[in-house]
Structure 1
Amino acid sequence: MGSSMSIPSSASIREETRQTAVLSESGLVTRQYRRAEIPDERNSLRLRVRFGTDAGALVNGFPSKGGVYSLFCSPMELDFLGLDRFETALPSSDPAEEDALCAKIRLLGAEWWPSLDSLWGGPPLLKEKVRFIGVACPLEEKVRFIGVASQGGLWALETNLEDCSNRQLGRIQNARDMEEKCRQIERFGGTFYADPSECPLLDFKSPVPERAAIHVLFADDDASNQTVARNLLTHLGFSQVTTVRDGKEALDFLLAAAEDKSQRKPDIIFLDTEMPVMDGFECARILRREFPYNTDYSNIPIVGMAYRNPMLENRERWFAAGMSGFLPLPIQERDLEQMLVRLVLRGRSRISLSGPSIEDAGRDASMMQEE
């Protein structure tokens, strides 16, 4: 059973280029690639866990009967297998433990191969060959990792795919939250910017015009959530952000904005549902139903935020309060952007003054789960 792969010769590089061109024609990749020339010590394939340039990891199990079970696993599947999402690992010296791992990855769809040589010398369309970018990659393409720190500022790292493969930087994307991602970026030599506008990897000079015009009101008593939200919104091009600590402060701000015509009203409101003084449910109810707020804000999109998914319990309470959507905490950039695009930029608020019926609540719950 082969334990490593040597640095490819020019002939083997040409062959790899030919094979990956076939992959491109099949639609699995969009460009012609050639193999990254990785030093021997970084290219050992006899590992239990090996990372590439994308989230997840290649997991190998070496059963006592011989051969190898191999599967590219997502971060969630790594958790299921009890494997570290950030550290490479060698096979266990205990055959029983290794057989137990093999049994679990077989449940996820792992395929058995007689040897590592047969695995990596197999058909060029092998799925793992495409996803495990150490085998085929465009060497000079830029890769960026950005982590927004909860206490302000951000961590940034830019490299190319060859280095990303060599150092297995795809593991950075295995982070569950921004703090974990920041720690990994720091670990691999990222740079910290106390002022995000000083980061050369971000474009603060050319915001999307319609995004720059959107005013966001964000209510949360957690200062770290406020900081993360402001940094993420700024990064996404939503530069007009007002933060308050509870529902009462949100109502005071909204009343002042309605009375002072020179003050810009928010276009969307994010409310934590578990704030002191006044929680997000009560604040949303007042905005939808009580004078004078319902004359100015009856149709404004209101997004509730919580660590629990309301679709699993008390969903009627969310819609009865007049919530337009749900954003899980801790905030993830992709979720935040999708919510803003759906409710503001597309103008798709689903809430009316009278509030949705139970039937509407069920329909919207299904739509939220799909999104």
Structure 2
Amino acid sequence: MGSSQSVTSSASSIQERPEWTESPAARPVTPCCREEPKVRVSFGAAAGTFVQGFPSKGGVYMLSCSAMELEFLGLDLFETALPSADPAEEDSLCARMRLLGPEWWPSLEAYKHAWGQEFQNRGRGCMQQHQEERVRFFAVASQGGVWVLEAGEEECSSRQLGRINNARDMEEKCRQIEKFGGTFYPAPGDCPLLDFKSPFPERAMVHVLLADGDASNREVTRSLMAELGFSSIAVVMDGKEALSLLLAAAEDKTQRKPDILVANTELPIIDAFECARLLRTDFNYSQHYSHIPIVLMPHRTLLGDNNLGEKSAMMSGFVPRPIQKEQLERTLVQYTLKGPRRFLLSGPSVEDARRDARVIRLER
């Protein structure tokens, strides 16, 4: 696939340019040195244990574990360990790990490469300041099923949710997650925050507001987002409805505020540019959404329109229509994810997502 294309504003027009460009050396990901031996359990200088599982389907699961979680996995609390030579035994460990919300990576090299990209971008000052880190808590019930709680850093701090990790066993952790309003899934495969539905469950934590007055466009865009793992989508048909939803979510603490606004250029009642102006400059909105990413979806035939270019200064990015799936994916991960997972793209289809997942090199 080609390099990511986005659109930037100028005084006279909008032109497509590669805001993020892919290095020719980035695909396929190859180790820069001799491959290191695989390790199942390792310890660092701080508390906690790093566990890696190598499923027969490929890739590697990575999980930072507490002592209680190590016991659940059947691993020693103090001894390092290597992967099993028996694929069935290794798959059994991975099956238990998957209930605790690990990250899946295509390979160890891909994981290291993504972290290398993250450190490079931090060094260049390309931090993604507008996203709030989302924290997940998992516990496996003795009768089957999983308890799950997901919250932003601010909520975790205000409610002191870190205490959940002080649980001495799984049952106690289940009770704590339930106490703080978690959700119980009798069938773990139904939980979108585990990797049973998608190898990119962190995307299910992103809440997208999609605004488009065209029913056909809405359905195509919504379907593409869902295929890419962005399954939490609120859909509105005009700018007035979008602003009302945003304001209601900000004022009602029980509602989840959208993390990104993706809007068609030609929104009815209040257009996308006026929505952006209000969100950036009107205090009623800006106190909550001054930094929310706003991605515009203009038709490609409008990219040279001078008026469009002059109005686009308050937009974060652009995905021209007809929408290309890879460009939509790149834009969404760029503006909604933090850390090295924003450098991991899926394959060309849902079925190929795990097989063809790859790390890309993104440069400003």
Taking structure 2 as the reference length, the TM-score comes to 0.38
Greater strand percent: which structure? 2
Point out the structure with max Rg over C-alpha.
1
Greater relative contact order (CA < 8 Å, ≥ 6 in sequence): 2
